[in-house]
Amino acid sequence: GRKKYHTIKLESMRTFPVALAAVIALASNASAFTSHRVAPSIVRSNVASDSISFAHAGVRQQNSSSLNMLSFGTKKSVAVSETTTSVSKRKMALKVLCKAATAFSIMAIVTSAAPPAALAAKSSAIAAAPEVVEHLHTGQKVANFFRSFGIPDLAILSIISAMPVIELRGAVPVGIWMGLPITKVLPACVFGNMVPIIPLLFLLKNETLKKLMKPILDRAEKKSSALGVGSPEKQWASLAAFVGIPLPGTGAWTGAMGAFLLGMPTARAISSIFTGVVSAGLIMSAITLAGKKGGLAALAILAAVTGKEFLGGSSDSDEESSSSEEAAAAPAAAAVVEEVAEETKQDFLEAEPYYDQSSVPVNVYKNKTPFTGKVVSTKRIVGPKATGETCHIIIDHNGDFPYWEGQSWGVIPAGTREKDGKPHNVRLYSIASSRYGDDMSGKTGSLCVRRANYWCPELKADDPAKKGICSNFLCDTSAGDEVKMTGPAGKVMLLPEEDPKTDYIMVATGTGIAPYRGFIRRLFNEETPAAAAYKGEAWLFLGVANSDALLYDDEFQEAKSRFPKNLRIDYALSREQENKDGGKMYIQDKVGEYADEVFEKLNNGAHIYFCGLKGMMPGIQDMLKAVCANKDIDYDEWSKGLKKAKQWHVEVY
């Protein structure tokens, strides 16, 4: 089998012994329940019918939301710690779940020492827990319906657990009501809850089903919006916690939809959801067997155990110390973490549907808590006759710094400012790679940086006092050098994710080519789901001084040779070409040669992007105004329509 399936087994093996201990301990506390039925008055309690609809239960990758506590889409209730971390979040989550299970075991053993409560007391305790009563009310009706067909109780429990809305949280109380021991109830409920999840994760990839379920998925995205930002390990831990806390709107069904929207690999999603389901089973067992007080105690213990490590995060030094100590004490656990961290190319191909509905990662790392990446390589990418030096810099982020094509990284140059001794300000650079990185590992990103030097006529040389601090810092880096980064920033330059037939017009000067390289690599240069699905036309306009200054031309031409009907390229070489008036050919002149065609594409829904020097904008806008005038169209209203439809994307300086 593939490595990731072994990973599921290893993760389950690590959690199972402690979980089993908790189940056995809880079972010892159920003696007073196993031979009785809950009083009918409880079932008839005047409680509102279950108002949680399947659509309302939606939660949400791949991707991929903010790996905050449930980083699905990026709006969950508990925000992920922005502290830079090198420790595996998967490892942390497993440790937290094991500690939580241990805590529940201790609680159950302690409570089992007390005399069993009378049935009436148990009934009163359950009635005091609205969540249990509500689901027992619905679950018992379902159980009685299936009992009428002679179906065994354990099979009924599995069926109830498999149903959306009720799920395991409703099935566990029903199992106790049936008089079954918790040692049989919990495995049956976990099994039933997981049965529909695996086919659901595969069925959601079907385009027809995806369209039919769009309202449900939209609701899921809103509920799980905080789960999609962060590393794959963070996503795994966040999803497990989300599924594991039995509250309205959470659970395995909504977790599965969330995993789909995040774009999580199927095997990883299954292992995360399974861990969450087991955790939810332990919590519901504690609530059902010990009543309201037991539920409060369970939640209090869970909060105490997980609060600092999961919700609040920990400092870099604490995490690094903990990571090293545990690796030394438990080499087997360290090996598991290393294996979990190992991503294959196929994992990333499975991770991203073309219609990626996960929330965009934004500002995962900020100025006060920057991420530290390591330079893989720095390479000059222009010829000797180019006006200036431009470098392509690949930075390793180990999969902990997610981004989308069109976003920017903030870079904090090494050293301090001379005037006050404080760290340098952040400089933003457009990311020049797809979300997979240049090596398709998902662990790197690239920058395209022109070294900023200022010529001094008096010195007849570059003035060292006026050179660009950050650009020179980056262009001078070597393999292994550390770079402090913030972000990712921006949503303006993102590709639309709705329709793979959309046309794109990309206009750039110089290093403004960076985001378009990410676009082209995603759509044409790499075997991604987007490349397989894209049927539109991407049209690149690039303006530079001469042929030696062209950036990534070999890559673009290779992509064009493979997709001649989908990729067009036009260059404006100001020192080698002339415009129609005999002057230098600038980018606005080249776009103007296709004025009517550009206008028609925009009129038909194409998206246009501008990145680079702002000096190109007036000429292009004047060109479009002239086309509108010839067609008796109000340019201002027409351009407002483009912006309202989010077809107009500008990032110039």
Give strand pairing partners of 408: 430, 489
* CA-based R_g, the chain, Å: 29
* Cα distance between residue 114 and residue 121, in whole Å: 14
Catalytic residues: 429-430, 611, 651, 653
Question: Residue for token digits 């990311």?
Answer: 431
Taking the C-alpha atoms of residue 102 and residue 588, their distance in angstroms, rounded to an integer, is 67
At residue 394, what are phi and psi to the nearest 5 degrees?
-100, 130
Amino acid at residue number 652 = V
Give the β-pairing of 482-489 and 567-573.
unpaired
In the three-class reduction of DSSP (H, G, I as helix; E, B as strand; rest coil), residue 536 is classed as: coil
Strands 408-412 and 482-489 come out as antiparallel
Pick the closest to residue 316 from 365, 357, 260 (CA basis): 365
- Chain position carrying tokens 């497990």: 240
In three-state secondary structure terms, 394 is strand
Tokens read off for 46: 């005047």
**298 vs 26: CA distance, rounded Å:** 12
What pLDDT score was predicted for residue 22?
Answer: 44
Phi, psi angle pair for 374, to nearest 5°: -120, 135
pLDDT value for 528: 76
DSSP, collapsed to helix, strand or coil, labels residue 299 as: helix
Q: Decide the pairing of beta strands 455-456 and 607-612.
A: unpaired
Q: What is the separation of C-alpha 651 from the centre of its chain, rounded to a whole number of angstroms?
A: 24
> Could you tell me the pTM of the whole model?
0.50
Across the beta sheet with 607-612, what order do the strands follow?
A: 567-573, 538-544, 504-509, 607-612, 648-652
Distance CA 196, CA 256 (A): 10
Domains of the chain: 138-293 (no CATH), 354-491 (2.40.30.10), 494-652 (3.40.50.80)
Q: Which amino acid belongs to residue 34?
A: T
Which of 105, 86, 89 has its CA nearest to residue 18? Answer: 105
SS3 content of the chain, % helix, strand, coil (to 5): 50, 15, 40
CB proximity list for 342: less than 8 A, separation 6 or greater: 3
Looking at residue 85, what is its pLDDT? 37
Closest CA to 31 of 101, 103, 119: 119
Asked if 37 and 187 count as a contact pair (C-beta separation under 8 A), the reply is no
Distances (CA, A) of 184 to 20, 403, 587: 12, 45, 72
* Spatial CA neighbour of 18 closest among 246, 222, 279: 279
Cβ atoms of residues 298 and 229 within 8 Å: no
Residue appearing with tokens 């089993």: 20
Residues of the chain short of pLDDT 70, as ranges, are 1-138, 207, 209-234, 248-249, 262-263, 290-358, 455, 459-460, 526
| Six-digit token string for 462 | 């570059």
594 C-beta neighbours (distance < 10 Å), count: 17
Rounded to the nearest 5 degrees, what angle is found at the Cα of 84, between the Cα atoms of 424 and 406?
Answer: 70
CA–CA separation, 648 vs 652, rounded Å? 13
**Which among 552, 472, 538, 546 is positioned nearest to 507, based on CA atoms?**
538
Alpha-carbon distance of 227 to 445, in angstroms, equals 22
- The string of DSSP codes covering 56-118 is TT----------STTBSSS--SSPPP-S---S-HHHHHHHHHHHHHHHHHHHHHHHHTSPPPP
d(CA 516, CA 504): 10
Q: Judge contact between 231 and 89, C-beta under 8 A.
A: yes
Q: 3-state DSSP call for residue 39?
A: coil
Q: What is the pLDDT of residue 265?
A: 78
Q: CA torsion sign, 83 to 89 to 94 to 95?
A: negative
Question: Residue 27's CB: how many other CB atoms inside 10 A?
Answer: 20
The answer to whether 12 and 267 have CB atoms below 8 angstroms apart is no
Spatial contact of 382 and 542, defined as CB atoms under 8 Å apart: no
Query: Over the stretch 572-605, which tens digit does the pLDDT of each residue have?
Result: 999 999 999 999 999 999 999 999 999 999 999 9
Q: Where are the beta strands (DSSP E) in 297-382?
A: 371-380
Contact 275, 16 (CB under 8 A): no
Which residues does 359 contact at the CB level (< 8 Å), separation at least 6? 64, 65, 66, 72, 73, 74, 75, 221, 225, 228, 229
Model confidence over 505-562: pLDDT tens digits? Answer: 999 999 999 999 999 999 987 677 787 888 999 999 999 999 999 999 999 999 999 9
Tokens 């709006």 map to which residue? Answer: 75
571 beta partners? 542
User: What integer pLDDT is reported at residue 488 of this predicted model?
Assistant: 94
Which tokens is 120 given?
A: 């009436």
